[in-house]
Each structure stands twice: as structure tokens, then as C-alpha cells.
Amino acid sequence: MRVMGFEQPELGRRIDEARKALGLTLGEVAAKTGYDERTIRNVISGKGARPRTVLDICDCVRLKDQDSDQEIEVASEDHGSYTLPQYKEYLGNYFSYRRSFSYKGNIIRSVFSLEWSDEKKCMVFAEHQKFASPQGDVDFSQDGEIYVSNAIGLLHFVTRHEGAIRLVTLTRLRNARTMRGVVLTQAALDDFYQPATSAILFVKQSAATLESMVSAVGPIPTTAADYADINSRLTDIERKMFAIAIHPDAPNIRAGSG
């Protein structure tokens, strides 16, 4: 693991040097940080520890980031205590693709923008999902906070609005470009709201501008040139992620279900 620009064994050595320079004993560092002495020894020896724990100890011995000499941004404990350097490559704009809940057979393309919020002490997202339809303008744009468990490595995008919650759970970024996962929300089906879920694919766009990406938001019909490729990738996610919850004797998942 890399924290504050250092690999963990090197960071442990730097912490111990900084501690000695301040004339602090291991017991005094433990007392100041609220951790036991064994935890301090583990961090110094390069053993695994939560990023929040490591950063608290670094703060105690006045060790700064080697690259910027600035304090490292750390998410709140409720958000997972992840650090900004751990997830800096995640920030930016993505196209997301999922099955349409309203237009049977279509795939919906949205744009997600990820950034760090100093105010909320976590990564946040804004989903751009506004487009024209035969029934009029549609705007399902949303925003929320990102929770990350260092124990399991999944990212959780949570939208909360007047008691309604939408959850998008994603794998880590693959090849600095894609994330795969599931969205759990509620949709108006059969004239009333029901729980609804879909596979979802995120593809990072490093070169495109946000303005040009937003102009491409909306349904992707089955006749579109890129439909077959996206449909295949969503089907692969469905087979791998939904298979856990499906009885072995159940019919295979059919691509294109609304």
C-alpha cells in the first residue's frame, strides 16, 4: 500500500525517524494518537494498517507528504477513511451504460463526474442524465457521495432524496479505464414503483470534454453502431454478478430485458 507518497515499509522508517527527531517514545506516540503501542510498532515495521491510523501517526510525528509537503486529504470514517492519493486516478468523467427501465431493449448512456469534496470529506459524484424523448425532456440527473471499504475494495455511489435511495456498487478501476457493477434503484413499473436493478458499466474518458460527453447522453437504440458491443459487455456483467443470486435451475439471463 502507498500512503503519503511512500511505500509502506519506507513510510514506517520515516515515521520512526520523525518520532526520534522529536524525542518521542513509542508510548508517548501511542498516548497522543489514542492507539496502543503495538499498533505503533506495526506501522513502523511496515505491517498493514488502516490509512486513517497511519495518517494519525504521521500527523503526531509531523510527517508530511513527500511530494507536496501538504496534509493528505482523508475521507471521514463513515465514508471509509480512504485517502485522496489512493483514488486520485478515479477523479474525472465517465460514460456509464445500463439497461433502460422505461424503454424496453434500449441502453441508457449517462455521464458521471467524480471529484473530491473538501466540505464533505469524501469523493462525490454528479450524474448527468438529461435528454430529449418523444414524451418530452427527461432529467434524471443525480448527485451524491462515494463510500469505499478498504476491506473489500468496492466503491458505493449513494444518492439520497426525501427517503428514496439509489445505490451504485462498482469494482475498482481496471486498466485505469473501466469499472463494472450494479445499480439498485426504484422505477415506475406496472403503474407503481418497484425495486429495480441493472448491470452498469463505467468507461473513463480522459480526452473528451464534459460538454461533448453530456451531448451524447440518452437512450442507445438497438440499431446504433455501438449497441452490440455495449450490450455484450453488460451481458457479461449480468452473467458474472447476478449469477450468485439466481437459482441454478432458473432460465439464463436474456440480453435486452427492460
Per-residue pLDDT of the chain (258 residues; tens, 9 = 90+): 445 444 556 788 888 888 888 889 999 999 988 899 999 998 898 776 777 788 888 888 887 655 444 556 778 889 988 878 778 899 999 999 999 887 778 899 999 999 999 999 999 999 999 998 877 888 999 999 999 987 788 999 999 989 999 999 999 998 889 999 999 998 877 778 889 899 999 999 998 999 999 999 999 988 999 999 999 999 999 988 876 555 455 444 443 333
Alpha helical stretches, state H, 139-217 = 210-214
Beta-ladder partners of 184 = 167, 197
Nearest CA to 19 out of 43, 1, 52 is that of 43
Question: What is the C-alpha separation between 26 and 19, in angstroms, rounded?
Answer: 8
Q: Which residues pair with 50 in a beta bridge?
A: none
Query: pLDDT tens-digit profile of 155-210?
Result: 999 999 899 999 999 999 988 899 999 999 988 777 788 898 999 999 999 989 99
Label the pairing between strands 164-170 and 218-220: unpaired
Amino acid code (one letter) for 24: L
Structural domains in the chain, CATH included, are: 2-72 (1.10.260.40), 87-245 (2.40.128.120)
The residue among 172, 191, 188 whose CA lies nearest residue 180 is: 172
Q: Which three cell numbers stand for residue 98?
A: 445500463
CB 167 within 8 A of CB 184: yes
Q: What is the largest CA-CA distance in the chain?
A: 72
The pLDDT assigned to 101 comes to 82
Long-range contacts of 186-192 (CB under 8 A, 24+ apart): 187/101, 187/102, 189/101
pLDDT at 217: 96
Measure the CA–CA gap between 199 and 233, rounded to whole angstroms.
10
Q: Which three cell numbers stand for residue 147?
A: 463510500
**Hunting for cell 492519493 — which residue is that?**
85
Q: What is the pLDDT of residue 253?
A: 41
* Nine cell digits for residue 94: 465517465
Quick one: pLDDT at residue 92?
96
Locate cell 439497461: which residue?
99
Residue with C-alpha cell 451524491? 144
3-state percent breakdown (helix, strand, coil) of the chain, nearest 5: 30, 35, 35
Label residue 58 exposed, middle or buried (CB < 10 Å: 0-12, 13-18, 19+).
Answer: buried
For residue 243, the model assigns a pLDDT of 64
Res 252: pLDDT:
46
Within 10 angstroms of residue 117's Cβ, the number of other Cβ atoms is: 14
| Amino acid type, 244 | I
